[in-house]
Amino acid sequence: MIMADSLISHYALKHEMISPFVPTSRSGLEDAEKEEDKTKTASYGLSSAGYDIRLGRNFMFFRGEENKIINFTRNGQQEQMMIPADPRAIIDPNDFDGRLVVQIDDVDSIIIPPKTFFMGVSHEYIKVPRNYKVSCDNKSTCARSGVIFCVTPLEPAWCGYITLEFYNSNDAMLRLVAGQGISQLEFKQINTEPTVAYDDRNGKYQGQGPHPIPPMQKA
Catalytic residues: 165
What is the C-alpha separation between 46 and 54, in angstroms, rounded?
11
Q: What is the DSSP letter of 192?
A: S
Name 5's Cβ contacts closer than 8 Å, sequence gap at least 6.
46, 47, 48, 49
What is the C-alpha separation between 206 and 159, in angstroms, rounded?
6
DSSP string for residues in 13-48: HHH--EES--SS-EEE-S--SSGGGSPEEEEEEEET
CB 219 within 8 A of CB 81: yes
Element at 137 (helix H, strand E): strand 132-138
CA distances from 161 to 31, 158, 173 (A): 22, 10, 26
What is the C-alpha separation between 142 and 146, in angstroms, rounded?
7
